[in-house]
Amino acid sequence: MKKIITTLVFLITLISYSQENIVPVEEASQHNAFETPKVYYKDVNGVFNKFIGTWRYQSSSTPVKVFEITFYKIEQRDQGNISFTDELWSYFRYTVNDEVVYETYEGDIGYISGSILLNQNKMKMLFSEPIIDNTSIRNNPSGRLIMEYLNEGGVEKLVWNVECSLNQNGNIPFRIPITMLLIKQ
């Protein structure tokens, strides 16, 4: 009888610790990420779906700059053993006059990722350009990306704005344009 009670207590404890609270990702700002038990900020309502897919920007001036990005969702990403969240991640390519500057689809290390919803159509993400010229990752330009989803007459668009500090020379540290209008492909 003692073994049965011990086993039942163990199983109940295991089940209660393995469960996590599921909170819609759009409500994450209303919660404490350090809550116990762990919280899983899940895209239960599909608010990330409008951002998922391939988007493209092409400048109308010379040199011709083309930026293409593909967003995809990673589910239940561990946030440093504090909580879990669904996040958008990406691969992207940036070319100038058809010459590749960055290509994370095939190996350059850079990222655009995040899960912070400012509202149903606007996200804040982390942005870092790939390492080039053997530059240290600490010197790699990074900032916050604010993306806003628009649907104008059935044409899906992303308004792209990167918030960053100027470098020591007073210049914008990014090669990729910090403001763009991307069209869903």
CA atoms lying within 13 Å on the CB side of residue 158: 31
177 closest CA partner among 91, 63, 48:
63
What is the chain's pLDDT, residue by residue, as a tens digit (185 residues)?
566 655 544 444 434 444 568 999 998 888 776 666 788 999 999 999 999 999 999 999 999 999 999 999 999 888 777 788 999 999 999 999 999 988 888 766 677 888 899 999 999 999 888 766 665 555 667 789 999 999 999 999 999 999 877 776 767 778 889 899 999 99
- Residue 95 amino acid letter: T
DSSP assignment, residue 8? H
Token pair belonging to 36: 């116990």
